[in-house]
Copies of this chain bind each other. A is one copy, B any other.
Amino acid sequence: MATDKKIEEGLEFVPKFDSNGLITTIAQDAETGEILMVAYMNSEALDMTIKSANAVYYSRSRQKLWRKGEESGHVQKVQQILVDCDQDCLVLKVRVDQGQCHVGYQSCFYRTLKNGSDKEMELIAEKVYDPKEAYKKK
Q: A residues within 8 Å of B by Cβ? A: 8-9, 11-13, 24, 26, 28, 32-35, 37-38, 46-47, 50, 80-85, 89, 91, 101-103, 105, 108-113, 116-124
What is the predominant secondary structure among interface residues of chain A facing chain B? mixed
Q: In the complex the two chains form, is A8's CB within 8 Å of B103's CB?
A: yes
- Please indicate the chain B residues that have their CB under 8 angstroms from the CB of A121 in the complex: 11-13, 83
Contacts of A37 in B (CB 8 A): 84
Residues on B with C-beta less than 8 A from A47 are 118
A82: chain B residues at CB < 8 Å are: 35, 109, 111-112, 124
A11 touches B101 (CB 8 A): no
Q: Judging by beta carbons under 8 Å apart, are A120 and B13 in contact? A: yes
Q: Which residues of B contact A117 (CB under 8 A)?
A: 13, 50
| Beta-carbon contact of A28 and B35 below 8 Å | yes
Docked complex Cα distance between A86 and B38 (Å): 11
A130 to chain B minimum Cβ distance, whole angstroms, is 14
- List 6 A-B pairs, Cβ < 8 Å: A8-B103, A26-B26, A81-B112, A84-B108, A85-B105, A85-B108
Query: Of the candidates B12, B32, B38, B123, which one forms a contact with A26 in the assembled complex, judged by CB atoms under 8 Å apart?
Result: B38
